[in-house]
Amino acid sequence: MSTGTVTTVSVEIAGTEISFETGRMAKQAGGAVVVRQGDTMVLCTATVGNLRDVDFLPLTVDVEERMY
């Protein structure tokens, strides 16, 4: 397995630093970004499967809240 390029972009909004990182986690997804702000981290992933002839958009949201 080859190592990909990790890209991180940080911005400051209203005195709070928010960083966006891609290329490190969820490498099997079509796209993934980790968003960090302080002690909070969110992993957002997106992928696509084979196109089917459906008249609706199936949407699934999985949420896991962990406090360490």
CA-nearest of 31, 11, 37, 6 to 21 is 6
- Find out whether 22 and 6 touch, Cβ atoms under 8 Å: yes
Q: What is the pTM of this model?
A: 0.68
Q: What pLDDT score does 35 carry?
A: 97
Tell how far CA 66 is from the center of its chain.
17
What pLDDT, in 10s, does the model give residues 9-51? 999 999 999 999 999 999 888 899 999 999 999 999 988 877 7
Q: What pLDDT score does 3 carry?
A: 63
Q: What pLDDT score does 55 carry?
A: 77
Provide, for the chain, the percentages of residues in helix, strand and coil under a 3-state DSSP scheme, each rounded to the nearest 5: 0, 40, 60
Distance CA 38, CA 15 (A): 12
What pLDDT, in 10s, does the model give residues 55-68? 777 778 888 888 87
